[in-house]
Structure 1
Amino acid sequence: MSRIDESKDFIPVRIAILTVSDTRSLAEDRSGDTLVQRLEADGHILADRKIIRDERAEIAAQLRAWCADPGIDVVISTGGTGLTGRDVTVEAHRDVYEKEIDAFGTVFTILSMEKIGTSAVQSRATGGVANGTYLFALPGSTGACKDAWDGILGKQFDYRHRPCNFVEIMPRLDEHLRRK
């Protein structure tokens, strides 16, 4: 069963938050605020934060820029994961991924089902890796951001989490880029 190994030291992770919205400003970004509050309360570092329009090419460009930044370990986006025509965040993420973390969407859906029932099928939360950086796309609701952080990401970004966690494999995420 999962647990925290108190004999290990906590290692803070540098996380960038991207809110995808055609209408929100930083002052109105409750979902972004929720993620920032949670990551900082858990001891992680807010590496950057932006709001960007729901435009696939712009989202992918920002993800790529952050993946190229050695000061960013993780990018979490919020918004644009639904089913409407303007919801293109998932497609932008998949344009950038080298590997998709398939189980992230599945586990997120299971958590969502406990809170919102079958409405969880309308979310397309996703996760992946590119250029040694973790990328996650969450729905734009504060509840979804809380559920994703509290139920999955907060644990996986704690190096002390057992039996395994995302932090311990971070140094190996880009090993294929270093091969000769």
Structure 2
Amino acid sequence: MSNEKEFIPVRIAVLTVSDTRKIEDDKSGKTLVDRIEGAGHIVADRKILRDEREQIADQLREWCANKDVDVVISTGGTGLTGRDVTVEAHRDVYEKEMDAFSTLFTMISFPKVGMSAVQSRACGGVANGTYLFALPGSPGACKDAWDEILSVQLDYRHGPCNFVEIFPRLDEHKRRK
């Protein structure tokens, strides 16, 4: 009998944050969908919302309350301009922030975009037993985050540890008496 773990598909919702994009021209969202499905995971839902903090946070909360969504990945609205509010919306929802996600994303981005990596506010966290990640709104950033971080951590077969194996313990604090 083999000790190899079997692949476990994860249900992932994709949110594009943009004042101008539609599904037809949403290259970053399509990049994520293609990679998610290509890896054998399930796209549980996909939406595009304007850069409105409350609307974004409400959508994140809705997906976190949905037992058919394990992970939420948003793209767009992570920059420094006045309309970039995705990170604030994510932080409105997070129970815990994953500081190392931001650091690792910056390390991966730096060799590709140089000092421009300092402008990214990509972040990750956990809420209601759901992983949430906010990525920049470029296809390249989505490829980098998926290919070099998320595809690995969302693969149950990855060792020594991965996000999938700790799913059951993400909300254990709510079950304590």
Question: 1:168 is matched with which residue?
Answer: 165
Q: Which residue, out of 114, 119, 122, partners 2:119?
A: 122
Q: How far apart, CA to CA, are the structure 1 residues paired with 2:6 and 2:14?
A: 25
Q: Distance in 2 between matches of 1:124 and 1:110?
A: 13
The aligned amino acid for 1:106 is: T
User: For each residue in 1:29-84, what CA deviation from the matched residue of structure 2 results, as whole angstroms up to 9, or x when unmatched?
Assistant: 00000000001000000000000010000000000000000000000000000000
Normalised by the length of structure 1, the TM-score is 0.96
Which segments of 5 or more consecutive residues in structure 2 lack a partner in the other structure? none
Aligned to 2:51: 54
Does 2:4 match 1:22? no
Match of 1:146 among 112, 119, 143: 143
Q: Is residue 123–residue 139 contact of structure 1 (8 Å, CA) maintained in 2?
A: yes
Counterpart Cα distance in 2 of 1:45 and 1:121: 32
Per the TM alignment, residue 6 of structure 1 is displaced from its structure 2 partner at its CA by 7.9
Residues 14-42 of structure 1, C-alpha deviations (whole Å, 9 max, x = no match): 00000000000010100000000001000
Q: 1:6, 1:108 → 2: CA distance?
A: 32
What letter matches 1:129 in structure 2? Answer: V
Aligned length in residues: 176
The 2-side partners of 1:118 and 1:151 are apart by: 19
2:61 corresponds, among 61, 64, 73, to 64
Give the one of 72, 77, 82 matched to 2:74: 77
Identity %: 76
* 4+ runs deviating over 3 angstroms: none
- The aligned runs of 1:35-54 (5 Å cut-off) are 35-54=32-51
Q: Is the 8 A contact 1:97 1:130 kept in 2?
A: yes
TM-score by length of 2: 0.98
